[in-house]
Amino acid sequence: MANPVRNPVAQSSSSVRGSQTTPQAPQPARPADYVYFERTTAGFSEEAGSRAKSAQLKLEHYYKVAVDSAIERNSRRVELERRLQGEALISDERKQRQLQQLGKKESTYLRLRRTKLGLDDFRTVKVIGKGAFGEVRLVQKTDTGKIYAMKTLKKEEMLKKDQLAHVRAERDVLAESDSPWVVQLFYSFQDPSYLYLIMEFLPGGDLMTMLIKYDTFSEDVTRFYIAECVLAIEAVHKLGFIHRDIKPDNILIDKDGHIKLSDFGLSTGFQKKHDSSYYQRLLDSANGAQSPTAAAQAARNSVMVNSINLTMSNKDQIATWKANRRKLAYSTVGTPDYIAPEIFIQKGYGKECDWWSLGAIMFECLVGYPPFCSDSTHETYQKIMQWSNYLLFPDDVHLSRESEHLITHLITSADQRFTVDKIKSHSFFYGVDWDTIRQIDAPFVPHLRSITDTSYFPTDEIDQADEEKSASSNEASKDLAFLGYTFKRFSVSSHGF
């Protein structure tokens, strides 16, 4: 509250005037009853202070976005003008038309930015995936009819599980990327209870579904998918992020049979402090030492993974492991099968952890199961930590010398692990044209009956019922925690399937 102060001490102003060395213009005389107000927050309630701070942050964000957008628009125009200036064969009239087309596109984008998107703008076709913090739906935008995949995340769970940094990292990776190897994000928005990511729909399903269906791949097919994964992981690293959760579930297949990386919920930027709490919770649950919050979350989880007594020579039990593997993908515990040992140690790690995961996937493609899979997550963890004792190639599976050599140089200590350049030059990839691989025919191309065909997703195993959306407490603080989450992609012409 502002406190009025009448007739401030005269000697204060006179002492200031006496200390000045440069002459000042005479100040107009103040009336005798002139009231001075002192700026102070004293007297305001804590709630008022919190609301004021919230308003300040929202205003700062609003003007930052406005200024950044203006800079981006100017940069795009300058870039186009520079490019047109170098085109001697293009007439001035055509150059002017291209500049006008850019202006129209910018105007369309500005209108799109001003449009407030919400859940009502999308119609659910089918639920195609569920996870610990939300679900993925196939949706259709009501005004355009375009098809998207909509990922929903529960704000309450994000806050409880301390996933704010990861949620923001996922949004930033998708927003910053225009790589053909990363699932494209078109919009992101939020309501009081949920975060929404509107992404391109990849109708070919994921690599996990293919591995469950086909058991193993030939070395030629494996070479194709692993080579594309190398380029996808490299693209993420070039953006300045580590994925940290590379596994077959997160390798999606587009309509032409090529792969894209998805699910960056555990990704992190190189400059951020690594958050290993997720893996600590995984180990706690594996050891049975759950916190009350984790126990409550497990109680809410409808999918429980049965214990499997796995003998690697028994194909029936391996098939049982594969069936439970899908259930584990939907559970809160997740699977540690593809996680590098340095992540568990929690003493810092770098992008090389993603190459370990790729080695585990390559092993599974050729052998039929990950190298350290066991009858419990804790046992899998123990094998990963003692990887040198447990990385064994089965006698009944013939692998080439090149494939074994590459796997053993990916599944190894972090300081000995191959870099991306060594991986690309490895003899296993002899004949791979890294620049054109996305243009060649894929070994498997989805046969689609319609733009909403979900036959490559296990939708029969997923509960299609809508989740109950209950209002939760502390809405204002949740909104502030996710400030700046909203996103709309500039390239408005290519939206949707």
Any idea how long the chain is?
A: 497
Classify strands 122-130 and 251-253 as parallel, antiparallel or unpaired.
Answer: unpaired
Among this protein's residues, is 162 annotated catalytic?
no
Structure tokens at 198: 């509107």
Count H helices and E strands in the chain, helices first: 17, 12
Q: Please, are residues 140 and 150 in contact by the beta-carbon 8 Å criterion?
A: no
Residue 11 has pLDDT above 70, yes or no: no
Say yes or no to pLDDT of 150 above 80.
yes
d(CA 465, CA 126): 10
pTM > 0.85: no
Taking 60 as the threshold, does the pLDDT of residue 411 lie above it?
A: yes
- With beta carbons less than 8 A apart as the criterion, state whether 484 and 61 touch: yes
Q: What is the pLDDT of residues 338-395, one digit of tens each?
A: 999 988 887 778 889 999 999 999 999 999 989 998 877 888 889 999 999 999 998 8
Confidence of residue 466 (pLDDT cuts 50, 70, 90): low
Q: Is the pLDDT at 492 greater than 50, yes or no?
A: no
Contacts of 138 (CB under 8 A, 6+ apart): 124, 125, 126, 127, 128, 147, 148, 149, 150, 201, 452, 454
Annotated binding-site positions for ATP: 151
Average pLDDT in the 143-147 region? Answer: 89
Average pLDDT over residues 287-295: 42
Q: Is the pLDDT of residue 284 over 60?
A: no
Q: At what angle do helices 92-114 and 46-85 cross, to 10 degrees?
A: 160
What would the mean pLDDT of 248-269 be, rounded to a whole number? 83
In this prediction, residue 14 carries a pLDDT of 44
Spatial distance between the Cα atoms of 31 and 310, rounded to a whole number of angstroms: 92
C-alpha–C-alpha distance, residues 227 and 424, integer Å: 8
Is residue 195 within a helix (H) or strand (E), and if so which, with residue range? strand 194-199
Q: Judge whether residue 275 has pLDDT over 70.
A: no
User: pLDDT at position 177, please?
Assistant: 72
Cα gap 11→438, rounded to integer Å:
80
Which 3 state secondary structure label does DSSP give 140?
A: strand
Task: Answer yes or no: is pLDDT of 19 > 80.
Answer: no
205-214, 290-299, 392-401, range with the lowest pLDDT: 290-299
Residue 26: pLDDT over 60: yes
Mean pLDDT lowest among 66-75, 209-218, 269-278: 269-278
Q: Residue 47: its pLDDT value, please? A: 75
Contact (Cβ atoms closer than 8 angstroms) between residue 151 and residue 478: no
Model confidence band, residue 320 (pLDDT cutoffs 50, 70, 90): low
Give residue 338's pLDDT. Answer: 92
List all residues 6 or more positions away from 125 whose beta carbon is below 8 Å from its beta carbon.
137, 138, 139, 140, 147, 452, 454
Residue 318, pLDDT score: 57
Residue with tokens 């809160």: 332
Mean pLDDT, rounded, for 458-479: 57
Instruction: Among 71-80, 145-154, 174-183, 289-298, name the most confident range.
Output: 145-154
Using only C-alpha atoms, the chain has a radius of gyration, in whole angstroms, of 28
Mean pLDDT to the nearest integer, 311-321: 50
Please determine, for residue 59, whether its predicted confidence score (pLDDT) is greater than 50.
yes
Q: Whole-angstrom Cα distance, residue 304 to residue 331? A: 7
Q: What residue ranges do the domains of the chain occupy? A: 48-114, 119-203+463-468, 206-270+315-439
Cross-strand bridge partners of residue 206: 252
Which residues belong to the annotated binding site? 151
Instruction: Judge whether residue 424 has pLDDT over 50.
Output: yes
Residue 315: per-residue pLDDT: 57
The average confidence (pLDDT) of the chain is: 75
d(CA 87, CA 28): 64
Does the structure show a pLDDT above 90 at 258?
A: yes
**By percentage, how much of the chain surpasses pLDDT 90?**
27
User: Which residues contact residue 105 at a Cβ distance below 8 angstroms, ignoring those fewer than 6 apart?
Assistant: 492, 493
CATH 1.10.510.10 fits domain 206-270+315-439: yes
Indicate the CATH number for domain 119-203+463-468. 3.30.200.20
pLDDT at 22 over 60: no
Choosing from 245, 249, 263, 275, the catalytic residue is 245
H or E stretch at 93? helix 92-114
Q: What residue has token string 């090529």?
A: 258
| DSSP H/E element including 300 | helix 292-300
List b or e across 123-141, with b for residues whose CB sees 16 or more CB atoms inside 10 angstroms: eebebbbbbbbbbbbbbbb
